[in-house]
Structure 1
Amino acid sequence: MEIHCEAKNAHDIIQIVADKLNTTINEDGNELCFNLPEEVGSGHIKSVLFDFGFSVFEIDVLLKKKLVINFEKDSINALYVLFNLDSSVSHKFSASGKANSIKQLECLMSSAGNNESHSLILKKGNPINVFTLIINRKLFESKVEAFVKDMDDNIEMLFRDVNGINQFDYKNFFTLEISKLIEEFKNCDLTDFMKATFLEGKAYEILTRQLENYLSNKNGPDGRTLLRNATINKVKNAVDIIESQLETRISVNSLAKKVGLNQNTLQNGFKTLFRKSVNEYIQHQRLEQAKDLIENSALNITEITYKIGINSRSYFSKVFKEKFGVTPNQYLSQVRNKAS
């Protein structure tokens, strides 16, 4: 099945797709969403619209038949920032006709350019989980115009092309931090104004992190590391182990053995997916858990120190202040004063 869209934002796309599939859209504030008809598959497609031509297009489905969404050429070509969270999908520009596979945890930043269209190809029988930021750069110009002159040249070039005249095609792995931000966006349980505000802030945070990732890869050689899917899965296993065993001492060597990687590959995987070494990631998780325990438990600082696998209270105080700007005791006092 092929669907042709002449659209400038995610709401336009979802309305065209829903009409083609002959299904009903549910509206909730600035969100539109519909479930797939049973004969097409299961799951949902959603759009969220913000100001300044910024929107989100989310596909979370299992298809019974192949679906191709063609984004037709337009007077203004949007910038698409697509994050693939599950099975591979494909993308192609009309001029080349060659499909480019986008694997799990890969991000495609693209714009069709003048007099060209592009297509997203979704296979049947595999879980599809695609999260896309869509930016109409003509409308977005007023959002960034005060900052453009101070931007990195690569970002300036990207946003100054307000009509999307030049084709843009860039693919790289995105960080697991971005993956978590997307899950927070998708699983928000707030309502009304608070939900709309949360989603907009989270969408901009995702965009910011990806632009940082893009610049790091463009400007530094370490960002060009390629990972196989099997390696990505083993790094994710290592993350699960770390998060479930923060109370214990975790060595890089033992962690690498548990997930079936050598230490260098594990370190490279963390650098690529998190921009952190393994030990930096472990410390980050410990401090985040400590902050959560201060906010949501009755444990004292000494108990929290041991709970997160740090043996020295003075060291805990030092690294906590470096990260959050206050000592654990100061933060505990702030939390309790606010609560009272």
Structure 2
Amino acid sequence: MKELSINSSKSNDMFSQIQACIQGELIEDWGESVLTFNNTIGKGSLRTIDFNWGISLIDCNMKLTEETKLIFESQDLAPIEFIFISKGYFEYSENNTDDFTKLEQFQNTIISHKRNAKKTFQFPKNEHLKINFIRINRKEYLQKKNNNVSQLNQLLVSLFNDSKGEVAFKHGGSFSLRIADEIKLLNNVDANSGMLRSLSLEGRLYLILSLQLLEHKNFEENMNIPEAISKEDILKIHKLTTYILEHISDNISISTLSGESGLSPKKLQLGFKILYSKTVNEYVRQLKLEISKDYLKNSDLSVSEIVYAIGIKSRSYFSKIFFEAYDILPTDYRKHLKDKNTALR
């Protein structure tokens, strides 16, 4: 097993120490630091971005060739970490003991360890890992005007106000595909650089953080996912979203999705309602509309061709639901984009 000790809680210092170990290439641009590696240790990338008021993002997309321990030995006040795993799993321990907690895919997790306590992350080998860490330096964040920390539940209020790091905190919450979808959008922000990209990333990060705080609130108030939806059901529904995307031009019915997933129509509807706050049909329709917007913006397909490509039979029906969703007709939306691009030239 490979072990790496980190003696700082600051993102840039951590990255420098990790780079020294894995010998990757570190590129810094527009406030983002990206470390990529492809060697005997494994293959992948890690990214860090620092925002105002003590908030930072660390995300990783990697596969390691051997089991790896990351041991944090900093004397600093530990950040509050909001962790979400989109792919794979890893284990967490405080005080570097053999008592590890498994953090699972799609589970909302919040941790903060005591000052002077060792924190250990143990990553498996040959497992594709996609992990996001949103980290909050509580002292800096409390200086933010209108931080509204006092509006959180008592557990989190106490944690934010624990300026001496006297309390260890660990929340292994519900499973959420809504957060997974928002993280996917965070990792695919299409602005290339500069202010637009920075604002897009920061906006997405705050949205994800708010969803993670909301999950914690619901969990503590016993409003978490009912027992009728198991982890296995959640994984099946997640696979269905890929199936829907790949068959967007088809007539996607509930009975088709039921047969594809092995879940009953009732459980499908319950799962989509809990995880996406939409019925199955609402989810499919929304996805078709989002894809149609992309076609209108980035292709030369006619509206009729787009209607066919997303599996809607009637152009008039498409125009109706597009207008209901975006308050503009598809033809006017495309014209608006062309006029805007012409004005910029």
Is the 1:9–1:55 Cα contact (8 Å) retained in structure 2?
no
Is the 1:225–1:272 Cα contact (8 Å) retained in structure 2?
no
Residue 212 (structure 1) aligned with residue 214 (structure 2): yes
Q: 1:338 aligns with which of 334, 337, 340?
A: 340
Root-mean-square deviation over aligned CA pairs: 3.4
Q: What one-letter code is carried by the residue in structure 2 that aligns with 1:296?
A: N
Give 1:62's aligned residue: 63
Q: Distance in 2 between matches of 1:255 and 1:37?
A: 39
What is the CA-CA distance between 1:136 and the residue it aligns to?
0.9
Map 1:1-340 → 2, pairs under 5 A = 1-21=2-22, 25-36=26-37, 38-72=39-73, 74-94=75-95, 98-143=99-144, 145-148=145-148, 151-153=151-153, 157=157, 160-161=160-161, 163=163, 164-188=165-189, 190-219=192-221, 221-225=223-227, 230-298=232-300, 304-305=306-307, 307-311=309-313, 316-328=318-330, 330-340=332-342
Q: Distance in 2 between matches of 1:29 and 1:59?
A: 18
- Go from structure 1 to structure 2 and tell me whether the alpha carbon gap of 1:74 and 1:264 turns closer, same or farther (over 3 Å shift): farther
Is the 2:57–2:134 Cα contact (8 Å) retained in structure 1?
yes
Q: Which secondary structure state, in structure 2, belongs to the residue aligned with residue 120 of structure 1?
A: strand
1:235-256 per-residue CA deviation (whole Å, 9 max, x = no partner) reads 2332122223333332212211
Aligned length: 339
Q: What one-letter code is carried by the residue in structure 1 that aligns with 2:283?
A: Y
- Go from structure 1 to structure 2 and tell me whether the alpha carbon gap of 1:20 and 1:43 turns closer, same or farther (over 3 Å shift): same
Q: What one-letter code is carried by the residue in structure 2 that aligns with 1:151?
A: Q
What is the CA-CA distance between 1:140 and the residue it aligns to?
1.9
- Go from structure 1 to structure 2 and tell me whether the alpha carbon gap of 1:25 and 1:267 turns closer, same or farther (over 3 Å shift): same
- Go from structure 1 to structure 2 and tell me whether the alpha carbon gap of 1:282 and 1:155 turns closer, same or farther (over 3 Å shift): farther
TM-score (norm 2): 0.81
- Go from structure 1 to structure 2 and tell me whether the alpha carbon gap of 1:272 and 1:89 turns closer, same or farther (over 3 Å shift): farther
Moved more, 310-319 or 91-100: 310-319
Q: Distance in 2 between matches of 1:121 and 1:226?
A: 31
What is the CA-CA distance between 1:326 and the residue it aligns to?
3.6
Q: What one-letter code is carried by the residue in structure 2 that aligns with 1:19?
A: A
- Go from structure 1 to structure 2 and tell me whether the alpha carbon gap of 1:162 and 1:11 turns closer, same or farther (over 3 Å shift): farther
Structure 2 residues not aligned, in runs of 5+: none
Q: Distance in 2 between matches of 1:93 and 1:275?
A: 35
Identity of aligned residues (%): 24
Q: Distance in 2 between matches of 1:155 and 1:324?
A: 40
Q: Distance in 1 between matches of 2:25 and 2:298?
A: 42
- Go from structure 1 to structure 2 and tell me whether the alpha carbon gap of 1:149 and 1:110 turns closer, same or farther (over 3 Å shift): closer
